[in-house]
């Protein structure tokens, strides 16, 4: 089965830069998550509008937390966090949204699946600058979660070209990458390299 590759915005790039990069690399990814915590609903909606105008399919776009923006922009889904509305409530009122949940433990993963989540993003797997001083959860814990749930699990956190093979050896459904792609010197070449490994 083909492994999924999701790209998540970092919140550190300008909107123009982000749109330019995503427009170029979207053919090689399965999902793009607009995760811009510092921006309001209007600005996130405008990012999606501009991406759509540039040919990025709405079916590939997910919005972090903002269910209202996800529904109004008619994107594929929403990525919920521990501060978001409960999965079952979102599923009840917006059954057409594909709902992902960020989880950090086996208990959370099982709970979110029971509530109706469509997929999980689990991490962080390896050391990453975005989580300084916090020990990575590692591929063994990832494997444990993949075995415990039936929905897709994407790995996130410090996943680079030199360690992604360790993730591939688990039953995870793919990976989610932030700065490793978007902030690389050549995002197009980098995502193509990730895609090649995931397709093996």
Token pair 């075995």 is found at: 147
Query: In the prediction, which pLDDT does 132 show?
Result: 73
pLDDT, one tens digit per residue, over 124-163 is 999 887 777 788 999 999 999 999 999 999 999 999 999 9
Cis peptide before 84 (omega within 30 of 0): no
- Domains along the chain? 4-198 (3.20.20.70)
pTM of the predicted protein model: 0.96
Beta bridge partner(s), residue 32:
7, 61
What average pLDDT score do residues 49-74 get? 98
Lookup: tokens for 131? 């989580």
Burial class of residue 98 (count of CB atoms within 10 Å of its CB; 0-12, 13-18, 19+):
middle
What average pLDDT score do residues 63-87 get? 97
Phi, psi for 101 (deg, rounded to 5): -130, 135
Phi, psi for 43 (deg, rounded to 5): -70, -40
**pLDDT of 68 strictly over 90:** yes
Find out whether 120 and 113 touch, Cβ atoms under 8 Å: yes
Which residues are tagged catalytic?
124
């Amino acid at each position: 089965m083909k492994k999924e590759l999701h790209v998540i915005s970092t919140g550190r790039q300008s909107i123009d830069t982000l749109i330019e990069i995503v427009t170029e690399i979207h053919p090689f990814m399965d999902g793009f998550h607009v995760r811009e915590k510092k921006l309001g609903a209007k600005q996130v909606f405008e990012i999606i509008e501009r991406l759509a105008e540039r040919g990025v399919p709405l079916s590939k776009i997910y919005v972090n937390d903002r269910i209202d923006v996800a529904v109004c922009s008619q994107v594929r889904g929403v990525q919920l966090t521990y501060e978001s509305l409960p999965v079952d409530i979102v599923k009840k009122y917006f059954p057409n949204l594909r709902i992902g949940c960020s989880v950090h433990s086996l208990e959370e993963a099982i709970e979110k699946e029971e509530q109706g989540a469509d997929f999980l993003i689990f991490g962080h797997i390896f050391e990453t600058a975005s989580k300084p001083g916090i020990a990575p959860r590692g591929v063994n814990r990832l494997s444990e979660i993949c075995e415990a749930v039936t929905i897709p699990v994407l790995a996130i956190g410090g996943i680079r070209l030199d360690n992604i093979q360790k993730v591939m050896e688990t039953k995870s459904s793919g990976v989610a990458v932030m700065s490793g792609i978007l902030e690389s010197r050549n995002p197009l070449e980098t995502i193509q390299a990730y895609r090649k490994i995931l397709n093996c």
